[in-house]
Structures are given as structure tokens and as C-alpha cells.
Amino acid sequence: MRAGLASLLLLGAWATAGAVPASAAGAPEPTRSSDAPASTGLLDAMRRDLGLTKTQAEARLAAEKAATAVEPKARRAAGAAYGGSWFDAKSGKLTVAVTAGAPDATVDSVRETGASIRTVEHSARQLDAAKARIDKLSAPKGVSSWYVDPKAGSVVVTVVGAQRADNDVQEFLARARTAGPVTVEKSAEAPRTFAAGTVGGDPYYTGNVRCSIGFSVHGGFVTAGHCGQAGAGVSGWDRSYIGNFQGSSFPDNDYAWVNVGSGWWTVPVVLGWGTVPDRLVRGSAEAPVGASICRSGSTTRWHCGTVLGKNETVNYSQGAVHQMTKTSVCAEPGDSGGSYISGDQAQGVTSGGSGNCSSGGQTWYQPINEILNRYGLTLHTA
């Protein structure tokens, strides 16, 4: 009876269970998005968090869907001249950076995809190589993160404002600048993960830690690695047994997956918490920088924002975590592991951030496709 009740709750929330994981090949093939109109709740959330009217929110969602489809075509068309891309909310189009001196035929091919073009000095490959060299450095606590910003044409290194004059921070910045073009930005505080102590009635627990379920996969669910080590037992909202961490990585990465059984099962749903209707998951097409994105978590529930950067290295107190995506969405302790979704496309699981949902903040997530490939999992889609 208890297990059955847990299963019913999970249907309204988001968990998982089922078959043996499939082996990973290349990146998962994203499922085509639904053409169903956006819900009133989603539009209301975008109005609250992004300051948009209903009409503006509808137009933005449509434009972002088109930009997401254009991005892989534009990347292929640009070839070695590709310098990165981002969604421009003002124009409603994808902007693609192309290196100066690229052949006219290449530029024309990119433009034919429907993207706008910006000429830049460095290619994405060059900027990624510079970031990879910085990744090999040992960062002091005063350095928050670093990532490639195609709009800035450099690797952006974020430091805690109060510690910028610290000798170790200055030495790190000096060494980083030898790796390639670097821009320095300030943050108010150091990043932290969003796990929490035990609180009754929330999605899942391991030991005395509460975290949030990310996305259903066949055989289990994905979540944050800092929430539990491999082998650790997991219980649900009612403390009934769900399964165990089958794989977990933190730091370096921040992802994990949990097998599901004992009367619990998987559903392709992200909980809307009454703010929006529960969201069906239909694929994992990656949203571009600048696109709107929403997060579901067990503490602060449903919040929206925009994608600020990709492939960022975040320097937590426990160690650096790589290949993260940064957003303007807020989060708080207990939201760790929760779902980031853009439209009906899964994006990633909550790792950490700074600030909170009262005064505002920024967060990072580990991209979903990387997790699926790492563990040979298949996303459960509607």
C-alpha cells in the first residue's frame, strides 16, 4: 500500500524506474518538440521571472524553438570558422560568430540557415583550447569559475570581488592570461552546492541530505553527484526505499544516477508545483546561450531565467567541476539535482550557484546529454 502510494505521488512529481540502461553510442537523438501552445502557468512564470508580457513570452518561446533547430545547421555551415553562437532576445534570432577572413561562401552558408552573423577574432576551437589550458591550473577559493563567452571573444574568469586583490587570485589570473584571451568579472560570493539537511515531505533523501530528482531515464533517474556516493541508498518523500546510487561523480563532474524499484516507476514528467502544469519531457535538444530556461526543485519549486554560458568550470570548495552551463535562474539548498527544462526539452540537473530566490542569484547545471552518455542511459520521453 505504501509503495503504491509512493508510485502515485511520483507520477505527479518526477522519478523513475524500469529497464536495464541501454548502452551509449553518440549523443542522444533529440525527440521532436510538441507544437502544443504554452500553458498559462509557464507564461505566468516567464512574466514573473523574465519581465515579459504574455505576448512577448509566446513570441520568445517560438523564436527560441526556431533558434535551437538552426544552431547545429549553422555550426556545420561555419566549419573551422565557427566562433560560437547565442540567442539574441532583441532580434529573436540565433547569432553565430564567424572568424574574420572566413571565405564568403562560408559566411553565405551560415546566413542561409537563418542565423545572424558577427565577425570575431578567435574561433570556438581556439577559445576552447585556451579554457582547457586554464582548466589545468589550480584555482584558489577566490576564483569562482571560468567559461568561454563567444560574445566577449574570450574566456571569462569570475572572481569573488572581496578577494580580487588576493595574491593567489592575482597569480591565477596572470597565469590564465598566458593561456589565451581572458576577461575578468566579479561575483558577490563564492559558488556553493544546493544540497540540504533532512526536511520531511520532499522528493528524495540519502542519509541526512535532501536533494531533488532530475529526469527519468529507463531504469532510474539522474541527479547531482554531490547528493550521494555510489552504493548509497535513496528513499522517497515518504521515506520508503527507492533504490541506490548506481554511479556518482563529484567533483570534476556533478552527476549521478539512481536505479528505481520497490513499487516506484519512471515517468517523463517535470513537476510544475502548481505554478505551471507538470511538463512532459519529449527530448534533450540543447538550448542556445540566451534562451529562456526553467528549473524545478524541491525547495524553491519552479523558477525561470536565461542561459548565460556553457562549458564553464566552477570552483566549489570541494574542487572544480567542468563543462557546466550557467543560468540566471535562482535556487536554494535542497534544489540540487533538480530539472532544468527549455520548452519540452530536458537540459540538465542543478549543481549549485550563488544567491537565493529572495534576492536573486545564478546557478549552474550539468548538461543532461553528458550524463546520459557517461552512464549509457536513455532519457524517458513522452
pLDDT tens track, the chain, 382 positions: 233 222 222 322 333 332 222 222 233 333 334 456 777 888 888 999 999 999 999 999 999 999 999 999 999 999 999 999 999 999 999 999 999 999 999 999 999 999 999 999 999 999 999 999 999 999 999 999 999 999 999 999 999 999 999 999 999 999 999 999 999 999 989 999 886 644 343 689 998 899 999 999 999 999 999 999 999 999 987 788 999 999 999 999 999 999 998 888 888 999 988 888 889 999 999 999 999 999 999 999 999 999 999 999 999 999 999 999 999 999 999 999 999 999 999 999 999 999 999 999 999 999 999 999 999 999 999 9
Q: Which residues have C-beta within 8 Å of that of residue 321, sequence separation ≥ 6?
A: 250, 251, 252, 253, 254, 313, 314, 351, 364, 366
Which residue among 122, 218, 226, 303 is the active-site one? 226
- Preceding amide of 21 cis, omega within 30: no
Which residue among 88, 202, 254, 278 is the active-site one? 254
Q: What is the DSSP string of 8-48?
A: HHHHHS---B-SPPPPP-SS--PPPPP-PPPPHHHHHHHHH
Whole-angstrom distance, CA of residue 24 vs CA of residue 323: 19
Query: Which cell numbers in the block locate residue 26?
Result: 553518440
Q: Which residues have C-beta within 8 Å of that of residue 7, sequence separation ≥ 6?
A: 263, 264, 265
Query: Which cell numbers in the block locate residue 308?
Result: 548565460
The model carries a pTM of: 0.80
Which residue among 145, 187, 249, 336 is the active-site one? 336
Query: Which cell numbers in the block locate residue 108?
Result: 553565405
Quote the longest CA-to-CA distance of the chain: 68
| Known catalytic membership, residue 226 | yes
